[in-house]
Amino acid sequence: MARPRARWAEELVASVLDPAKNSWETGYTGWIDVSGPNVNKATGAAMLAADLGVDVADVLAIGDGSNDMPMLRWAGRSVAMGQAPDKVKAVADVVTATVDEDGVAVELERWFG
């Protein structure tokens, strides 16, 4: 079951962080990911793929939070977890089972089994 998003976290970061110097994502329970501008899971995954010589078309990304959305948009194949919010599911190619239903294992078996 999805937990209610902690709006207080969004309000806090918006009041103290400068979007020209920082980027951020907030989660359901109030976690806050803060990084430099235009730094996110997609930019990190792109750097890793380039270092390893892996084409983006060969990348499988799996996520369930708003901080995963840039990576899901970037990857050649993207999967949202079943418990992910609708906005995360909307950017993924497919939706798998929830964490409790071993959704990551289901996808790994589908693609690599």
DSSP for 68-83 reads GHHHHHHSSEEEE-TT
pLDDT at 7 over 80: no
pLDDT at 2 over 50: no
pLDDT at 28 over 80: no
Per-residue model confidence (pLDDT) at position 63: 95
Q: What single DSSP character describes residue 20?
A: T
Beta-strand runs (E) in 1-113: 23-26, 32-35, 60-63, 77-80, 94-95
- From the list 102, 96, 54, the residue with the least C-alpha distance to 76 is 54
**Which CATH number does 56-113 carry?**
3.40.50.1000
Using one digit for the tens of pLDDT, what is the confidence trace for 58-82? 999 999 988 899 999 999 999 999 9
Length of the chain: 113
Domain ranges in the chain? Answer: 1-39, 56-113
What is the residue type of 56?
V
| pTM of structure | 0.79
* Mean pLDDT score, 92-97: 98
Q: What is the end-to-end Cα distance of the chain in Å, rounded? A: 28
